[in-house]
Structure 1
Amino acid sequence: METIDLAYVGRGIHEELVAFVADQEGYFADEGIHVAIRDGVSWPAERLRHGAVIGLGRGLFSRLTDGIGWTALSVSTTHPLFWFLGNADVATMADLRGRRLAVHAPDTPPGVFARIVLRQYGLDPDRDLQCVVRHPGDYQMDLRRLRDGSIDAAYVGSTLSPEQVADEEGFHVLAWVGDHFQIPTVGVVVDPAHIPLDSPALGALVRANQRALRTLAAQPSRAVDYVAWFLDRLTREEAQRYYDHYIGPHFIAEHAVNLTVAQQAIDAVAAELGVAPIAPDDIYGPAV
């Protein structure tokens, strides 16, 4: 049985769901491979490039800034699962002006996505509000700081359900990134210098990934079970709504990358990073 490493570079449903489904449903074993799922959140690009990586955003950033020839072979979604969450006094994105926002660093994929969406709302992230950079973890410290008033809003990811938190705490969901910015964001990406694109283990990994995506679409009740496993503060009804809004319509097998949308996303990311853009077919392989 061949072994291949697969690293996630962020936490939560956004990064972990598809690989988790493939593992739990036995799809890796059916393909005759052992997939060693690694926590690569803090790994540098040089370490990540020795295995397959889930984070396509991280791969694109590395391609733009390091010149590493990452190639994406599978795209699970183009809708990043990140949200702006305001406290009781911040009810709209416009209310962020002059406020304190806890957010990812501006040289990280989620941080750049946040800056792009802020600009779409007419907010300069460097002048119109105070961006409090923090290491995100599972965002529990953000919730604590929203409660005690030391921040006014937080940019959070999929280790929690923003609607459920807002309902419990009297907060407001201000915007979902996926409504405003689309980019191939999770799937399977490799550096061909270390893992050949015709590697049998890599092909098996991609097939299992696609099978897991088909399961999420074809077995919605089973998919809701997985959502509830990750987000165990949700009731069944809340997990169903989360699936209906964020997973079912957007995590798609055989996802065909719209090269026009991908180019717009690459151009926006490159502009935020202050580097030259690339053509989308430089990173998204023919299979996607």
Structure 2
Amino acid sequence: MHSIDLTYVGSGIHEELVAHVADQEGYFEDEGVHVALRDGAVWPTQRVRGGATIGLGRALLSRMTDGIQWTVLAANTHRPLFWFLGRSEIKSMDDLRGRRLAVHGARTAPGCFARIVLRKHGLDPDRDLQCVERIPGDYQMDLRRLRDGSIDAAYVGSTLSPEQIANEDGLSVLCWVGDHLHIPTVGIAVDPTRIPLHDPALQGLVRANKRALRTIAEQPQLAVGHIASFHNRLTLEEAQQHYERYIRPHFTTDGRVNLALAQQGVTEVANELGIPAGTVDQMYLPAL
């Protein structure tokens, strides 16, 4: 049996769902590959590049800024699963003006995406609000700080179901990043100087990933059950609603990258970082 490390660099169904389905349904085993799922959220990029990674946003930024030749072999979605949540008195993105927002750092992929969306709403993240930087996590401390009033809004990821949290805690869902920025953010990428693209373990990993994507699309109840296992505060009905809103319409069924969307998203990221965008065709390869 072949083996390969597969690193997620942000917790939640955005990065973990497809790999979780492939693991739990035995698809890795069917491909004759042992996949070691690793939590690399706080790992340096040099350590992440030792295996395959799910985090395409982080891979993109390190390719653009550090010259690491990350190559994407499968994309799970072009819709980043991040949301802006605000206290009850904040009803829209415009209400963030002058407020305190807990958010990822500007030079991280989620933080860069947040700044792009803020600008699309007419907000300068450096002047129009106070960005309180924090590292990725499960966002429970953000919810605590929203309750005690030490922050006014938070930029959160898919360890939470935003509508359920908003309903329970009296918060407002201000916007979903995936409505405003389209870019491959999760899938399978490697640094080919570390893992050759023809590596049999990598090829088996990509095939299992594609099979899991088809399962998520074609077997909704199975997918909903897996989502509920991540979000165990959700009822099955709420997990179904989350699946229908954020997963079923927006996750690919074949792992292929929409190059036009990718180019548009990469250009927006490059503009935010103040660097040349370049073309995307060498980073995003057809799915195996």
Considering the TM-score relative to the shorter chain, is it more than 0.5?
yes
SS in 1 for 2:184: coil
Give the 4+ runs in structure 1 shifted more than 3 A: none
- The one-letter amino acid paired with 2:257 is V
**Following superposition of structure 1 onto structure 2, how do residues 110-149 of structure 1 map, counting pairs within 5 Å?**
110-149=110-149
Query: How far has the Cα of 1:46 moved from its partner?
Result: 1.3
Query: How far has the Cα of 1:117 moved from its partner?
Result: 0.4
Find the aligned partners of 1:261 and 1:14 in 2 and give their Cα distance: 18
CA contact (8 A) 2:145 2:151 kept: yes
Find the aligned partners of 2:43 and 2:140 in 1 and give their Cα distance: 23
Q: State the partner residue of 2:262.
A: 262
1:186 aligns with 2:186: yes
Find the aligned partners of 2:3 and 2:240 in 1 and give their Cα distance: 35
Q: State the partner residue of 2:95.
A: 95
Q: State the partner residue of 1:7.
A: 7
SS in 1 for 2:192: coil
Find the aligned partners of 1:203 and 1:82 in 2 and give their Cα distance: 29
Q: State the partner residue of 2:26.
A: 26
SS in 2 for 1:7: strand
**Following superposition of structure 1 onto structure 2, how do residues 67-86 of structure 1 map, counting pairs within 5 Å?**
67-86=67-86
Find the aligned partners of 2:208 and 2:136 in 1 and give their Cα distance: 30
> Residues 142-167 of structure 1, C-alpha deviation per residue, up to 9 Å, x if partnerless?
00111111111000000011100110
Find the aligned partners of 1:154 and 1:218 in 2 and give their Cα distance: 34
> Residues 179-203 of structure 1, C-alpha deviation per residue, up to 9 Å, x if partnerless?
1101000000001111111111111
CA contact (8 A) 2:41 2:136 kept: no
Determine what percentage of the aligned residue pairs are the same residue. Answer: 67
Task: Give the CA RMSD over aligned residues.
Answer: 1.0
Which one is further off, 21-30 or 250-259? 250-259
Query: How far has the Cα of 1:253 moved from its partner?
Result: 2.1
What is the TM-score when the length of structure 1 is the normalising length?
0.98
CA contact (8 A) 2:257 2:286 kept: no
- The one-letter amino acid paired with 2:35 is V
SS in 2 for 1:281: coil
Query: How far has the Cα of 1:257 moved from its partner?
Result: 2.2
Query: How far has the Cα of 1:228 moved from its partner?
Result: 0.3
Equivalenced residues, count: 288
Unmatched segments (≥5 aa) in structure 1: none
What is the TM-score when the length of structure 2 is the normalising length?
0.98
